[in-house]
Amino acid sequence: ADLYKIDGWGAPYFSVNASGNVSVRPFGASTLPHQEIDLMKVVKKSSDPKSVGGLGLPLPLIVRLPDVLRHRLESLNSAFEFAVQSHGYGSWYQGVYPVKCNQDRFIVEDIVRFGLPFRFGLEAGSKPELLLAMSCLAKGHPDAFLVCNGYKDEEYVALALMARSLDLNTVIVLEQEEELDVVIGNSRRLGVRPVIGLRAKLRTKHSGHFGSTSGEKGKFGLNTAQILNVARKLQAVDMLDCLQLLHFHIGSQIPSTSLLADGVGEAAQIYCELARLGANMRVIDIGGGLGIDYDGSHSGESDMSIGYNLDEYAATVVQAVQYACDRRGVRHPILCSESGRALVSHHSVLIFEAKSSTSFEPSGPGSVGANLAYSLDELADDARADYRNLMAAAVRGEYETCCLYIDQLKRRCVDLFKDGLLGLEHLAAVDALCDIVAKEIGASRPVRTYHVNLSLFTSIPDYWAIEQLFPVMPIHRLDQRPGVDGVLSDLTCDSDGKMNKFIGGATSLPLHEMSGGGGGGGGYYLGMFLGGAYQEALGGMHNLFGGPSVVRVSHSEGPHGFAVTGAAPGPSCADVLRAMQHEPEIMFELLKRRAEDYEAGDGVVCGLAHAFHSMPYLVSAVAEDAVCGVDGGAVL
């Protein structure tokens, strides 16, 4: 387990159990041993149609853990509750979940439900997000905020005002100065008095990747002059009392409390100034930024790590606001945060299967020994000299010299091959020989490629797009020392569909030999952790791999210690085709007619119907009755 640093990034939710499997502690540190959920048992139950009650869902699989989500939400609220109490702060914390982090219906509904005791609300950044937030919050706490961020047109503003007329505690946050006229116009037209917030463009700059839009030249928010213009304009139309909230967001994954204190302190001054100018200020909304320690180092020295915990985060916010307000004699505001990443990252685990791995063993016709004899004859003089020098260095055990000659010999042979002077068998034999010598002298622990049933572009897009690293590790066999170093290669036909950077700066992952020598058959399961935020909504359709199956798994006192409370397979081939404007029904009819014209037989028609119906990912061999039991037309 140490190899994967699970105690660093996984605590208090993930650990390795006595069976050598990753287990989930659904209630964090207060989880009792018998309440732990063994992830391998979840995989078995979800994917194996032969296991008792097995669901037969194909992998990859997202395991959602609502208990973990609840625990995150409660921990965030109790951290603020504690900070408010211990600092004698004169108001309270009342957060919102930014639905952009993961708009999945069940996640948003869970958050609203779990958040009822805390008046927890939602944040939306677009019209569809606002619609979903409105309908979910209809079952939320009446005081929960509905924060409307993002660029707004007339329709967005009108919808937000309608939300207020439905008695949802809606705040329209001005992202640009021009939005004010739209808000004033629509509020008059609809006869709804708005609650207005404004997003300040702070001078405080977050220097990491996620802070590239912060600072004076940042993309979002109002600068000092624009803030003043908004206040004056509202006063002129007798609506300054509508301005009640100040918002800022300096970027996700804030690395340190010192940067946080800087940002909150600056915003608190703006808040106090707005109060001085006569606005009816009540809330300071500190945006997102509460980070996740992806690499488990707790150092805060890179985008992958943060140097604080929830309690320290909350204490920093409370102190910074309290300090500014006390000095200016301003009433303490309600503290709101839009923490998304910190809320949902832990609650979902992506599980995928290695189907095969590349082998060290020389392959191809005949053994290396047999091929080498004639290989030598074919080699040019200088390559033959490299070969002899390599062997002599190997006998003397000279590591550095061996590496040198391996490089040289390989390069020379590739040049010969490119010139058409060396056959494929000879090139393969030289490669195999070099690998064997390298392995014998310990020059390299060769890195194998594990072919995994996954699309990085669909399931871990930030890895590809912004080089974000997530913890990845096998979820079983952790009582055995892994004997191989591997990189992961996904199913897409794209060279970027490869994972060869891992947390802690490693370029390979310690992995176990696959049973059966890695040639195929799968059965080796890995998990990607902390990916519950952003990945699902950002994920694309490269090669038309639709999306993983999903199961919801909650703690239960039954024999397994868990219950599957929801399950859905990922999109079928027909579904993903439809998403790109193809019409599977028409495609099927066309191919069916062609099959009839060519008298291809019923088996082909059944097979075609099954193909539209099936998952784009690799599935285990299809049972005969599963194919022919399908009624071609009906499945589509």
Give catalytic residues, as residue numbers: 493
Contact by Cβ (8 Å): 521, 453: no
Q: Measured from the CB atom, is 304 or 432 closer to ligand PLP? A: 304
Max CA-CA distance within the chain? 95
Contact by Cβ (8 Å): 208, 255: yes
From the CB of 318, what's the least distance to ligand PLP, in Å? 18
> CA-CA distance, 522 to 511, in Å (whole number)?
14
Q: Measured from the CB atom, is 297 or 535 closer to ligand PLP? A: 535
AA letter at 580: M
> CA-CA distance, 353 to 195, in Å (whole number)?
50
Instruction: Report the half-sphere exposure of 357 (CA within 13 A, side-chain side).
Output: 26
From the CB of 248, what's the least distance to ligand PLP, in Å? 9
> CA-CA distance, 631 to 627, in Å (whole number)?
9
Q: Measured from the CB atom, is 339 or 459 closer to ligand PLP? A: 339
Q: Centre a 10 Å sphere on the Cβ of residue 581 and count the other Cβ atoms it contains.
A: 6
From the CB of 123, what's the least distance to ligand PLP, in Å? 6
For the chain, the residue count is 636
The residues binding ligand PLP (CB under 6 A) are: 98, 101, 149, 249, 252, 287-290, 338-342, 533
Place of tokens 């909304």: 285
From the CB of 96, what's the least distance to ligand PLP, in Å? 9
How do 509-511 and 562-568 pair as beta strands? unpaired
Burial 203-242 (b: 16+ CB within 10 A, else e): ebbbebebbeebbeebebbbbeebbeebbeebeeeebbeb
Q: Measured from the CB atom, is 101 or 473 closer to ligand PLP? A: 101
Place of tokens 């009822």: 116
Distances (CA, A) of 21 to 40, 295, 485, 562, 607: 7, 20, 19, 15, 38
Q: In terms of DSSP H, where are the helices of 482-542?
A: 535-538
Structure-block tokens of residue 493:
């036909």
Q: Measured from the CB atom, is 242 or 342 closer to ligand PLP? A: 342
> CA-CA distance, 249 to 286, in Å (whole number)?
6
Q: Measured from the CB atom, is 210 or 457 closer to ligand PLP? A: 210
Q: What are the backbone dihedrals phi and psi of residue 473, each rounded to the nearest 5 degrees, phi first?
A: -160, 160
From the CB of 226, what's the least distance to ligand PLP, in Å? 17
From the CB of 223, what's the least distance to ligand PLP, in Å? 17
